[in-house]
Amino acid sequence: MKKYLDIFLQDNFISKRAFTLARKEIYQYLHTPSVYGAIVFFLVFCSVQLLYFQQYFVQNQATMRPYFAVFPIAFILIIPVLTMKSWAEERKTGTVELLLTMPYTEWDLVIGKFLSLLSVLGAMLLLTLPLPLSLLALGHFELGVLFCEYFGAFLLGACALSLGLLLSALYKNQAGSFLGTAVVLMVVMLVNQITFRFDLPYWLANFINFFSLAHHFESFTKGLIDSRDLAFFILSTLLFLFINTRVILFRKWK
């Protein structure tokens, strides 16, 4: 089995070196207080929005859609905290030069950091499970819809992480990375709100919505896995990761 796993890793775009780097990054995240603070803030923020501000029990509806509708806004604040150290801190401390001299390709470095961030995202989403599970006894919830909502949240988070990872490579310090990522995520998350506020032509509204991550997430909150939204998240994530490798390559030869 190990032989076939080695062959698989060598013949595909995720190498064992990337997994090695990912394990190192995860170990660092486990000793980073800001990561724990971000996770706690995410859980509290989403729960308070659902139970207090949206008055979930008054609505008398067996759906978690209002809960997941808050995720895009929460990610605007959470994703920059997770990604701001990825490359900005490496450049500030000078360890990025050490990484670039090691037997890693640019793709190994980017994928390794991305996989570690995905692990944190997965753990964060798993920690939200007690809330919907505790509400299952109060009504007839569609488990298929709940699965789609979590699946969409993971894809949304993965796309936002890849974008944050790219932006982190463009800044020299964590503060700049955090602010830049937060602003960019606010734009790409909430740009679809323009189509609600203004009476725009149909073609223009569709053009604006195409660039909105929150818009592509809406179908998942309805329990639908639209192939167009699925392709958008996957291709956008790969595109941001690819551009990240070009940025790292440029920094390497600069």
Q: Looking at the domain assignment, is residue 89 inside a domain? A: yes
pTM for the full model? 0.88
Write out pLDDT tens, residues 220-230. 998 889 999 99
Expressed in angstroms, the distance from the first to the final Cα of the chain is 42
Amino acid at 71: F
**5 part of a folded domain:** no
Q: Mapping DSSP to helix (H, G, I), strand (E, B) and coil, where does residue 252 land?
A: helix
Instruction: Check if the beta carbon of residue 209 is closer than 8 Å to that of residue 192.
Output: yes
Low-confidence winner among 94-98, 145-149, 178-182 (lowest mean pLDDT)? 94-98
Looking at the domain assignment, is residue 140 inside a domain? yes
- Report yes or no on 45 lying in a domain: yes
Residue 9 lies in a domain: no
Identify whether 178 is part of a domain.
Answer: yes
Residue 100 domain boundaries: 15-253
Q: What is the mean pLDDT of residues 121-126?
A: 95
User: What is the C-alpha radius of gyration for the chain, rounded to an integer number of angstroms?
Assistant: 19
In tens, the pLDDT along 18-54 reads 888 888 888 888 888 889 999 999 999 999 988 887 7
Q: Are 182 and 76 in contact (CB under 8 A)?
A: yes
Note whether residue 1 is domain-resident. no
Is 7 a domain residue?
A: no
Q: What is the pLDDT of residue 154?
A: 97
CA distance 109 to 103: 10
pLDDT at 233: 96
Counting the structural domains of the chain, the total is: 1
